[in-house]
Structure formats: C-alpha cells, structure tokens
Chain A
Amino acid sequence: MSTSSSNRGISRRGFLKGAGVTAAGAAIGESAVVAFAEESAPKGPKIVGPKPLSVSLKVNGAEKSAAIEPRTTLAEALRVNLDMTGTKIVCDRGACSACTVWIDGTPVNSCMTLAIDAQGKDIRTIEGLAMGDTLHPVQEQFIEHDAMQCGFCTPGMIMSCAALLEHNKNPSLDDVKTATSGNLCRCGTYPKVFDATLAAAKMMKA
C-alpha cells in the first residue's frame, strides 16, 4: 500500500510540513510554493487516488487504519474516519491552530497535513495526552484556572502549551505567549491560559 515515498509531489500541502508548526502556522512563504513546483514537475511521481486508499496511522500509540482519499487532511481523518473529535477544525487553513496535534513530538496544524503524510509517524492528539485517568498537568491547570469558556480552542491550546513544557521546563510568560501565538480563542481565555501553563510548569518541576 501507500508508503511515505509515494507522498512526494502529490501532497496538496506536504511541502508545508515545517510551516505547520503552531506558532508559524500562518506563515506560508512564496519560497514554499517554488519548492513545490520544482519538486513536482519533472520527476513524474507515483500517482495515487483520487479513489480512497487504505491508510494506517499511529495515533496515541495505537495503530489505526482507514480508507480515505489522498486529499484527506489529518484533521479530517482523525475527526471523521477515526471519530476522534477532540481535535477541532476552525479555519481549515493553518490560521488558528485549533487542530494542533503532535507529530513526532512537534505541534503541527493537522488541517495543513495530509493524512497520508502522517503515516509511519507518531501522532499524539488531545485524547492521548492524559495518562489514563491522570490528567496532564496542563489539562489539570486549565481546569483549576478556568482557562476555557466554550472550549472549542481548548484542545489545540492545550496541545501547544503542553508541547512548550516538553521542551522548556522553565518558561516565561513571553514563552507561553509565543507558544500560543498561533492559537486563536474568541471567548478570550488567553490570560488564564497563560496562568494555567505557568502553573503547570511549576507543578511539573515539583
């Protein structure tokens, strides 16, 4: 079946893998478009689709498979094909980070990632952040600080904040603002998101 080598040139936005990083989600540069053209034009990549193909994804440590069209984004595959609806779609173009998941430990916009490009990678979603019944400290502190209102941005917000704490054990307020600079919230939870994340960092050090 489909392998990672079949991705080159056919992915709608595969070239944006790097640009899918949360804080830079909206930064789609012209250089990326050039790269796409150079990569795809002469080599005659293997054609897949448009019919559905079987795709297997490793989500929160479990192998899952689904028959999907190659154009299906990871966000759509998670939400519809795997019924893991914790990951939200808001803008569907990398502008709001509501769909943030981790791929091999890096937060990415799953609406900007094709599901076929995520094969063979370690995908972590909001459903897989807690250890059984024990919430991740960021989740716990989001509840304690009321860092949510409607809750629709919350999964993406938490995935961004938890990723920050994976890499930075002692973040400043400014670090938290940077980590969430791609995450839009319309209810206005940012101040409490900052407080919750800083409190979680303290909790993880203790």
Chain B
Amino acid sequence: MAEKTTTEAPAAAPTEKPPVPQAALPKNGAEKPKTDTQTYPVGIAGVKIEEEERKVPATEAPPLPINEKLAVIGKPTPRVDGRAKVTGAAKYSADINLPGMLFAKLITSTVPHAIIKSIDTSAAEKHPAFRAIHMLDRDRSAAQTEEEKKDNWPRVRYVGQPLGAVCAPTQAHADDIARLVKITYEQKPFVVDPDKAKEPNAPIIFQGNAEQAGTAGGGGGPKDVKQNGNVRGPVAKGEADKAEIAFNSADVTVELDFRTQVQTHCALETHGLVADWKPDMLTVWASTQGTSSVRDELAAVFNLKKSQVRVITEYMGGGFGAKFGAGNYGVLATHLSKKANAPVRLMLDRREEHLCVGNRPSSIQKLKIGAKKDGTLVAMRLQSYGTAGVGTGAGASGPTQNLYTCPAIYTEDSDVFTNAGPSSAFRAPGHPQGAFSLEQGIDSLAEKLKMDPLALRDKIDDSEARREERRIGAERIGWKDRKPAGSDAGPIKRGIGVAQAIWYRIMNRDSHCDVRITQDGSVEFLSGVQDIGTGIRTALAQIVAETLGLKPTDITVKIGDTNYPQGPNSGGSVTTNSISPVARNAAWAAREQFLGQVAPALGVSADELEMADGRVFPKNNPNQSLTFKQAAKKMKVEQVAARGDRSDDYESKKGPRGKGAGGLGGVQFCQVAVDTSTGHIKVEKVVAVHDCGRPINPMGVKSQVNGGVIQGISYALFENRILDRNTGVMVNTNLEQYKIAGSREMPEIDAQLIEQYWGKSSTDAAGIGEPATVATAACVANAVYNAIGVRITQIPMTPAVVLEALASKQKASA
C-alpha cells in the first residue's frame, strides 16, 4: 500500500479515480492501428492445420495456438463450482429464503377453451393466510390476436393456462387459497389433435392472425404468416417448381412420411423466481437462461428503468430452451411482491411445468429425396406440419435446408394451432424432428442405391468436420462388421445405425465482461452471463487463467447477475462462442495493465515480461521471477480492471458451407438390440463424435454430449405428452407418468471430440448443447432398421409401435 503513488502511475491505470473498466489501451502509449493482421491456426487438429491471416481489431488478444500447445485451455478441468454442487451449498432460485418471504401459487384454467365471464376472489381473500392476489390480463407466453388485446381477462385456450396467482406465508396455504378462487367460464368447442385441427370444420382457436413473441433461444415462428383456420403457414423456402423439375432428372427417389411427438423440457428446477419489490429497486432471483431477458421484460411491464431491476441467477437447475424472459409467473410474482410489500417466491410445481412453460412441437412430415445413381442429390422436398399448441414455430426444415449439398431444395413449414400449452425453444428447435426425417431418408436412399450409408454421406456432405467424425465413429462402433438389415436369427436382433447433426455457429455481440486484478493477487471475472449447467463458469476461469499464467481455481468467476456487464443469453449454443473471446480479450487487456504496473519492480519494460506457471518473469531471464501474488503487491494501484467486448467474427475466406465453417457438425452411431417378441428396444452403445471449434474444457463438453445423447434416446423411445382428446387434459403431468430415460436405460456412451479451428475469434470456441441432441433419434431409428429390417417412422418407438411395424411387414410379405 505504501507504494501507491499518483505520480508514477502509467497512463494505463489512472489513480485519481477508482479504476474503471476500459478497453485495451495502447501498449506503452504507442498508437496502434485500428486493425492488426494476425495469423491463426485453421483446420482440424490431427488432420491438417494451416496458418491463415486475418485482419482483426487492434483490441483483440493475440491468437492462441492449438490446444496441444496450451497449459489450461483444452485440458479436462473439474468444475470450479463442483464443491458447492456436491455439498448442497449451491443456492438455486428455488432455494432463496428471504426474511418475511411469501409463497405464491398459480391460478390456472380448468377448461381447454373458454371466455372468462367472471372471477370471484372473495373466498380466497377471506382466508386468514391470504396476503395478495393478482390476475393476468393476458397469457404472456402464448400467441395472441390483435382483437383480444382489449380484453380484461385472458382468453382461455388450454387446460393449465396461468390466469393469476395468490400468495401466503406458506406454500401449503398458497395452494389452499388458489383453490378458493372461483372462475366462471363460457366454454367453447376445442381440439387437441393436430390432424383434426387441420380440418376445415375444426373449432377455430384464434379468430384472426396470431403472433407469438420469440425468445433469445428461438421459439415463436416467423411473423406475418398467412393463417387459414388453425393452420398458420406454410412458410416456404426454395422454389417448388425448380425442385419438381429436378426430381424428373433423378434416377432414384425415396418418399417417406414421419411423425414426431410433443416433448416437454422437464428441467429439474421448475420455472420460477423470487421477486423482491422495493420502491427504488426490484431484485429477482430467477431460474433463467438469460438474466438480462428477465430484467428487460420486467422493466418493460412495470415501467422501470433497467437499472432499477437486478436479476440474479447464481445457480440454475437446468434449462433446455424454455427459460427466457419473465414469463407469466415472473410478472405475477412481481405484482404480488408489490401488492403484499414482501418478497414472493413463485416456483411452478411439476404439473404446471409440464403444461404452461413450453415444449418441443410435434411434427407430421412428408419427405422426398431424388438422387443420381452415384448418390449425387438432385432435389429434396419437405412438407411439415406441427403443433406448437397455442404458440408458433413448429418448423422442422432446418436439416433438410442445410445439411447436404443439393441444387434444388424446397421446404414448407406450417403450424397447426391446438388447445394445448404453447411450445418454446427446445434444444436445437426443429432439428431433432428434421433430422429424424432427413437422416432416415438418406439411410433409405443409400439402401435403394445399394451404397454404404457412410459412403453416400462422403459423397453428399461437404463438411470436413463430419467427414473426420464419420471416420472416427465408424472405427469405434465397428461399422465394418455391420450386417445387412434384419439378418440376425432369433427373436433379439441387433443393428447399427448412423445419423448426422447440423447446428450453427451463432454468437451474440452483446456480450461483455470485466476482468480485475487486485493487489492481494485475487483475480475476478464479472459478467451477467449465467451458467445453466453447461460449465461456462469453469470455461471462463480457464480462459482467464491461461491468459494470466494461473490455474482455473485462482480465478473468482462472478456471473449470473445483471449488476455485472451485460452477458449473452444462453440459448442456441451461443454462450461459449459469445463470451469466451470476451473473457480472453479482457484478461489480455488486464494483463497488459498489470504488467505495466509491475514492470518497474523487475527493472524491465512490460513488453519483456511473461506470465506462466503462476509466475511473472522477464522472457530472457526466467530465473528472475516473482510469484503472481508477489507481483500483484508491486502494483501501484489497488486494482487494475479491463472491459472485454465481442468484436465481430473475423473475416474468413471460407464460404458458408465449405469446411463446415458455417455450421457445427456431429455424427452419432449406435447399436441397438430389438426384442421382436416384446417390441422392446434397448440402445446398447452410442458413439457420438462432435465438434465445437476449439473445445475449452473437453470434460464439460463431453458431459454435454452425453446429455444430448441421453435426451435424444429419451425422445426416441419414451417421452410423449398425452392429451385426452375428450377433455383437453394432459394425463401425464408428473415424472412417474411422463417417462424420461433413467439409469436403467443408459447405454455405454463414447463421446469423442475433434478440434476444429476457423480463425474466427480470439478463442475460436463454439457451443455444443444443441448439436449433441440433433442426430440421436434418427440414429436410433436407423439402427432399429438395421436390426429388424422395418423402418419405424414415428417416435416414441414404444414396444407397441415396434410390434405394429413388425406385424405390418409380415402382412406385406404374406
């Protein structure tokens, strides 16, 4: 402290005022050009790495070499918050207990389609534990027509729709009181089956055009789409005529119909939050994938400045696309907190979680593929209908549009409104559905062409990442020993299948952070970005540690709080791609300031200093070193701090498809055993080979790949939202009835990663959440075909579905 002086401080660290975050400053006062030309590794490690030049902003941290040459990045690293999670110390939103906190319960609709005639809250208000009630004026999660915006109450369009909420000092009392609210409905005809809802005389769910707002993670269909009855669409891509003409030149065509079910997210921590309304500040602990998305919505609804809303998500119990914005529940909890003058916790129960906060839409797809004898694709056409309930965005054409090289692709996506809860983004929206059809279509085409399915993909897929992934996966699953379809003798038949994934390298430039180094040697990373279980907290610690020559555990990562610099929402696998370069740039800028501060003590210029293995030393004299802590003590100021921002992706010579530069890949293989006497499918082994640019923490990435595979198996075999067509009621709203994969269904999973470098950012890292689940259901279906010689084109592939398929094959061959 005695060394602190105002006279000798370099320009980089003003001491008159407390240090404020700032962009990287010119080193030693020298003017730098606005852009630098830097050389980056490009290619796939172990296959081919070339050096390519990029023009990059001068504020960017210098290029990193490939992982093999790094100390921390790319090394399997246990989670920095692992201890908090295994000891129960980690506090999730559902765990927040504030003094005087009240508990809230939703009031939900009991009928599938109605106009509310009256709401009687008198009995509820007489309950001794009653504290406050708030009724919604509309359903914030569903689509809405212009006309109904004038209504006092929401239009009821499905069973379980949130209408309001009450609060009380205990959860049990809140539950009691919610049941006392009497709602009188004028019921209207309803329809929950999308096939029926498409018919011309079906009950109409939205009189007039309906729009659903999207979220950062997707969800919500395109705007201004024509609507006819309950059918919204089609949204067409490509030229229908061109595709039709191209089909005429095909030597072989395949045409198949597919159906996929509605899947619910089932995050273990339900949607919900704790809202603490104070006259000058609203503080919210939310289970969210986007702290700033919650802040923005609450600020808008309650007419507050964004600076008056603080959203905290320190730990988050699972998010797969549905947790963005404040939602009905968040707006209700905030109203209740304001009315009751006390903090209010509103966490949904498991039934509500199944009903009103999102799901993956169903699909009914018709696919046609035309190819030349050598496998070259000439045309593809996909027509897809799906129901997003009272939401929009059931499209499934992504994979058909983007996975393979084909000169004529035409797709049509339509939503079918039904009296069911609205969909939302769900891990790779539209893609598991779309891959389920496309990848079975390609498998079927390969058979017609008498080509190996991998050889066909080598021909039509120009992604270098997937080419390498096919090679690795084929070897690990034992592809060369794969037998012809249905050739096993005996009742239990085994098969091997393959399917491919595509997702996109999306990033959000509104991604910022601060990195601070303090005299006691502590290093902090601060950003609003949230860790939803992916392990971004650990990846960020690794990046800062690598840049400062420290260990990940030396870095205190403070995230999930809108008091910190704006972070990206976590949806669409954008988080790593968005925030990791920011961390690298900020850590580098902080490093430059830090070295500027400590260089005089070592009698050299900052340029001559290196940081590695927890030490600071002159490059040409490593023996003359200080530990990081010793060096920090030499700082003339208490703290240096730097702001990191996301620059645009660096210019790259590659087109949108070449080298997979526009997308993320992934190839999955699996082996199944099908018991043809019971129809039971057991997935025995999965080999999942994936790419996510530069993997920061391969351990965490493989955990996410496992998770994508397991959710995919669960989707393929078990999960199904079942609605009673006579009442509109979902009959399986808890986890003993809505079956998700458990320990007994676990196959052996062999997750493999390739390192692919593009030279696109200062870390060149991308996400893995979405691609990991895109191919799985298709992969299982292709393996089932290889096992039994019958193609199953609907999921879930329950024993009944399998037996029916086997019986229809017998009938056909009889």
Q: Can you name the residue of chain A whose Cβ is closest to the Cβ of B347?
A: A89
Residues of B within 8 A of A192 (CB): 703, 706
Quick one: given A85-B91, A189-B707, are A92 and B86 in contact (CB under 8 Å)? no
Tell me whether B655 is interfacial, beta carbon within 8 Å. no
Q: A1-9, A13-21, A115-123, A139-147: which lies at the B interface? A: A139-147
A69 to B169, CA, bound (A): 12
The answer to whether A142 and B86 have CB atoms under 8 Å apart is yes
Restricting to A73-100, which residues have a CB under 8 Å from any CB of B? Answer: 76, 79-80, 83-96, 98
The answer to whether B315 and A93 have CB atoms under 8 Å apart is no
Restricting to B86-101, which residues have a CB under 8 Å from any CB of A? Answer: 86-92, 94-95, 97
The answer to whether B88 and A86 have CB atoms under 8 Å apart is yes
A79 to B97, CA, bound (A): 9
Residues of B within 8 A of A91 (CB): 350, 734-736
Other-chain contact of B95, A79, A90, A125 (Cβ < 8 Å): A79
A6 to B92, CA, bound (A): 35
Residues of A within 8 A of B92 (CB): 85, 88, 152
Residues of A within 8 A of B81 (CB): 151
A interface majority secondary structure: loop
Restricting to B692-745, which residues have a CB under 8 Å from any CB of A? Answer: 699-700, 702-704, 706-711, 734-736, 740, 742-744
Other-chain contact of A83, B97, B319, B708 (Cβ < 8 Å): B97
A166 to B746, CA, bound (A): 24
Q: Can you name the residue of chain A whose Cβ is closest to the Cβ of B315?
A: A151
Tell me whether B269 is interfacial, beta carbon within 8 Å. yes
The answer to whether A26 and B268 have CB atoms under 8 Å apart is no
Restricting to B306-325, which residues have a CB under 8 Å from any CB of A? Answer: 315-320
The answer to whether B746 and A151 have CB atoms under 8 Å apart is no
The answer to whether A143 and B83 have CB atoms under 8 Å apart is yes
Residues of B within 8 A of A154 (CB): 85-86
Residues of B within 8 A of A107 (CB): none
A191 to B266, CA, bound (A): 19
Quick one: given A150-B317, A187-B533, are A139 and B268 in contact (CB under 8 Å)? no
Q: Which residues of A contact B (CB under 8 A)?
A: 26, 69, 71-72, 76, 79-80, 83-96, 98, 125-127, 129-130, 135, 139-140, 142-144, 146, 148-155, 158, 176-178, 180-194
The answer to whether B268 and A148 have CB atoms under 8 Å apart is no
Would you give the shortest CB distance from B202 to chain A, in whole angstroms? 34
The answer to whether B735 and A146 have CB atoms under 8 Å apart is no
Quick one: given A142-B82, A143-B78, are A150 and B533 in contact (CB under 8 Å)? yes
A91 to B738, CA, bound (A): 11
The answer to whether B318 and A184 have CB atoms under 8 Å apart is no
Would you give the shortest CB distance from A162 to chain B, in whole angstroms? 10
The answer to whether B79 and A152 have CB atoms under 8 Å apart is no
The answer to whether B268 and A98 have CB atoms under 8 Å apart is yes
Residues of B within 8 A of A98 (CB): 268
The answer to whether B735 and A184 have CB atoms under 8 Å apart is yes
The answer to whether B268 and A96 have CB atoms under 8 Å apart is yes
Tell me whether B409 is interfacial, beta carbon within 8 Å. no
The answer to whether A146 and B78 have CB atoms under 8 Å apart is yes
Q: Which of B91, B95, B270, B748 has the most CB of A within 10 A?
A: B95
Q: Can you name the residue of chain A whose Cβ is closest to the Cβ of B318?
A: A150
Would you give the shortest CB distance from A95 to chain B, in whole angstroms? 4
Tell me whether B534 is interfacial, beta carbon within 8 Å. yes
Residues of A within 8 A of B97 (CB): 80, 83, 85
